[in-house]
Amino acid sequence: MTGNIRNALLFTVKDHIARAGLPPRNIEDSFDATATIIGTLHNVSKIAFSPDGELFSVRGEELYRGPMPSEANQDWFSTAKRVGTLYAVIDDKLVMRSPPTQPLNNWLSTNTTIGNGGWRILTHFMAVSPDGDLWCVNSSNGNLYKGPIPTNDDINYLEQAEILGIGYNMYPLMSFTVDKTMENIVSCEFLLDSSKILSKSTAVVQTQTYKNNSSNLLRHNFSFVKTLTQTSTFSLERGFTVAFGADMSFAEGIPFVDETKDKISIDLSTIHNWNFIQENEIPTSFSFSTDVEVPFGHAVCMIASVTKGEIAVPYRMVIRTLFGYQTTIYGTWRGITYYNLLVTQDDYTP
């Protein structure tokens, strides 16, 4: 599994209760005392996390996948719908090989032995942490070991590994993952240099036809106030999920098209309270008023229109994760904006 050890988590399931917390650093650390209950997984026989932090589990004969749970009372299966290098113990030996790529690929006959003897007792839990060390739990006494992955069958893993705790065999299921559950937003910056105007179209906001069937000059006033709703959404970087009940709002200016330069800018005069996980709606109003003169026997049509632009603006966001880490994510804000009010007067012919 790949990842940054700085936001590594140890994930366990015991009596259907899922816990997550920082991996122990030494034998004095108590994972059980500091881990957080983050949900329930009922009747699960196997668990594993992908490098992106997605949880895979086996219940009965069915495989499920979904984000790591983030709330104590959350039933993971209510929201649920292999990568890396494979390590296994066969005939008391540690073997490794890349994952099979096709059904006829015989993994067991083509692996490489990198550890001889004594491995079966360490298979209660065996995983490679995000920093590349091999962690094992002794199924008999529950000792938790951390050490370098053996490179050949002459290396004694236990002589090089350190004991980081005892009693870990009380957890039927264990796995490593990285903390990619978003708890709140620290800051967000729109990256205008990479922004794009994806499309432009004309949106008519008001029309009025004036007919003069009299023999005198007709005077009218063409005026209106029209409010349009600008909508936008944020894309979520792959692998990151939002914690249950998390406040994912932040205050920032509003991207818009500067019609004088035909480029995207940020309106800092109006700070908007953005919602990262829901569609945002921003009302924008257009108003206009002018006198209209219609000669006798004629008709004119007043048409008011605006430019409707679809724009995309990349963002850089600093977030705080479920377990308090700060990390930077990237994505794209996409929105609809209205601008460039244009009023025309044309002769009208029925």
Per-residue pLDDT reduced to its tens digit, 253-287: 999 999 888 999 999 998 999 999 999 999 999 99
Q: Where are the alpha helices (DSSP H) in 76-173?
A: 107-110, 157-160
- 173 and 138 in a common domain: yes
The pair of three-digit structure tokens given for residue 327, joined into one six-digit string: 């990390």
Tens digits of residue pLDDT in 178-199: 899 999 999 999 999 999 999 9
Q: Where are the alpha helices (DSSP H) in the chain?
A: 31-34, 107-110, 157-160
Examine the fold and report which residue of 131, 158, 179 is the final residue of a domain before the chain moves on: 179
Examine the fold and report which residue of 179, 201, 219 is the final residue of a domain before the chain moves on: 179
With 0-12 / 13-18 / 19 or more C-beta atoms within 10 angstroms meaning exposed / middle / buried, residue 62 is exposed
What average pLDDT does the segment 108-127 reach?
73
pLDDT of residue 112 exceeding 80 = no
pLDDT of residue 163 exceeding 80 = yes
- Range(s) of the domain holding residue 280: 182-347
pLDDT of residue 228: 98
Contacts of 274 (CB under 8 A, 6+ apart): 188, 234, 249, 250, 251, 252, 280
Contacts of 260 (CB under 8 A, 6+ apart): none
Q: Residue 190 maps to which CATH number?
A: 2.170.15.10
- 340 and 229 in a common domain: yes
- 201 and 98 in a common domain: no
- 233 and 102 in a common domain: no
- 144 and 267 in a common domain: no
How many domains does the chain fold into?
2
- 164 and 151 in a common domain: yes
- 62 and 44 in a common domain: yes
Global pTM value: 0.75
pLDDT of residue 82: 34
- 232 and 139 in a common domain: no
- 170 and 21 in a common domain: yes
What average pLDDT does the segment 98-111 reach?
58
